[in-house]
């Protein structure tokens, strides 16, 4: 089990674990930053053929890569791909989603100038919180190590800290003995029954 615990201490693995505990077949979910489509595929598998995933990216090439990945795995029909900023999530996604995943920053191996920015990310996280059903979870992978990244992470954290108790539980998973540039996870659970 030691390996399993070690794996779960990685923020992205932890985000996946929490989303996996919440999503069931037939649910609706959002990947706010599709990139190469790994998280989109992860969500699509969990919601199954009767569920639906909305995936956003500003880069056509990223969405094309996501589309190819989904088709290869037979999950293309349950995903809507939106080539626009995630700040337009409210226009594109019907109310009532069980999970929203953000993986901020830039796509490794592509143009680093195309990256998430706090002016778009904070409204998008707010929109995601408005779409989320009780029992649903919102995860944000944060990367403070690149230019503008720390300000973006702080702005997202400030918004999430404002979500009221007892309707919301907000947590931060970060390395306590690593670099302050290390990636960390912010997550918000919309508490069921509140
Ligand atoms: C770290 S990558 C995402 C990785 C992805 N989740 C995966 O599984 O491969 C961040 C992505 O956010 C996208 N992005 C940047 N600004 C955006 C915005 N305003 N709205 C939506 N996506 C954006 C980038 O184009 C990039 O593909």
Between the CA of 1 and the centroid of ligand 1 the distance, in Å, is: 33
DSSP symbol at 164: P
Is the CB–ligand 1 distance for residue 56 below 6 Å? yes
Residues 6+ apart with CB under 8 A from 169: 188, 189, 191
Contact by Cβ (8 Å): 97, 89: no
Between the CA of 62 and the centroid of ligand 1 the distance, in Å, is: 8
The whole-number pLDDT of residue 111 equals: 80
Between the CA of 166 and the centroid of ligand 1 the distance, in Å, is: 31
Total domains in the fold of the chain: 1
How sure is the predictor about 1, in pLDDT bands with cuts at 50, 70 and 90?
very low
| Containing structural domain, residue 15 | 2-190
Q: What is the CATH number of the domain that holds 168?
A: 3.40.50.150
Is the CB–ligand 1 distance for residue 33 below 6 Å? yes
The model's pLDDT over 110-130, given as tens digits with 9 standing for 90+, comes to 888 899 999 999 999 999 999
User: At residue 2, does pLDDT exceed 90?
Assistant: no
User: At residue 91, does pLDDT exceed 90?
Assistant: yes
181: β partners? none
102: β partners? 140
Residue 109 burial (C-beta neighbours within 10 Å; 0-12, 13-18, 19+): exposed
User: What is the residue with the minimal CA distance to atom 23 of ligand 1?
Assistant: 57
CA angle 35, 16, 72 (to 5 degrees): 50
Contact by Cβ (8 Å): 128, 186: no
The model's pLDDT over 18-41, given as tens digits with 9 standing for 90+, comes to 999 999 999 999 999 999 999 999
């Amino acid at each position: 089990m030691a390996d399993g615990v070690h794996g779960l201490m990685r923020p992205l693995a932890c985000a996946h674990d929490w989303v996996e505990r919440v999503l069931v077949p037939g649910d609706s979910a959002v990947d706010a930053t599709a990139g190469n489509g790994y998280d989109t595929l992860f969500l699509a598998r969990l919601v199954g053929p009767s569920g639906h995933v909305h995936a956003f990216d500003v880069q056509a090439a990223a969405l094309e890569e996501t589309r190819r990945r989904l088709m290869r795995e037979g999950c293309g029909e349950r995903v809507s791909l939106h080539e626009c900023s995630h700040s337009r999530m409210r226009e594109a996604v019907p109310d009532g989603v069980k999970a929203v995943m953000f993986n901020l920053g830039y796509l490794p191996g592509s143009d680093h100038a195309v990256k998430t920015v706090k002016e778009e990310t904070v409204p998008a996280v707010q929109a995601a919180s408005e779409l989320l059903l009780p029992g649903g979870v919102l995860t944000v992978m944060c990367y403070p190590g690149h230019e503008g990244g720390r300000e973006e992470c702080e702005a997202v954290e400030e918004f999430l800290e404002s979500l009221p108790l007892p309707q919301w539980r907000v947590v931060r998973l970060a390395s306590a003995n690593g670099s302050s540039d290390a990636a960390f996870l912010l997550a918000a659970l919309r508490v069921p029954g509140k």
